[in-house]
Amino acid sequence: MIINRLDHLVLTVKSVAATCHFYETVLGMEVVTFGANRKALRFGQQKINLHEKGHEIDPKALTPVMGSADLCFIADTDVAEILSTLQALKITVLEGGIVQRTGATGPIRSVYFRDPDGNLLEVSNYI
């Protein structure tokens, strides 16, 4: 088996509408509707499908839980500009600002914050 890339993942959320608003306004993701009025967040060649807690789509994770995701996104926008945007939007930035970490293919500079459900989001640039 040879895996090429991640196509989509699923987040279980309290409010699909609030999640769509956050990811669209803060992260610039595109909200798309598919299937029977389901919602997803599209960016690049990937998407995040959204399941509202208590109304998950089968098949689903064995124990869908809100706020359990830890996601890292690679941005084209400079991380310093991302930090400024988050601060202007009054979003709490964790770790004191920009930190250096290790991505899948090398060193990255990252900012950490949380979405409305408490999921940890990391937005980064490769160095």
Residue 81 among the catalytic residues: no
Reading the block at residue 115, the tokens are: 């979405």
* Longest pairwise C-alpha distance within the chain: 45
**Catalytic residue from among 30, 56, 95, 122:** 122
CB 73 within 8 A of CB 41: no
Q: Is 118 exposed, middle or buried (0-12, 13-18, 19+ CB in 10 A)?
A: exposed
CA distance 85 to 67: 23
User: The dihedral of CA 21, 61, 73, 115: what is its sign?
Assistant: positive
Catalytic residue numbers, as ranges: 122
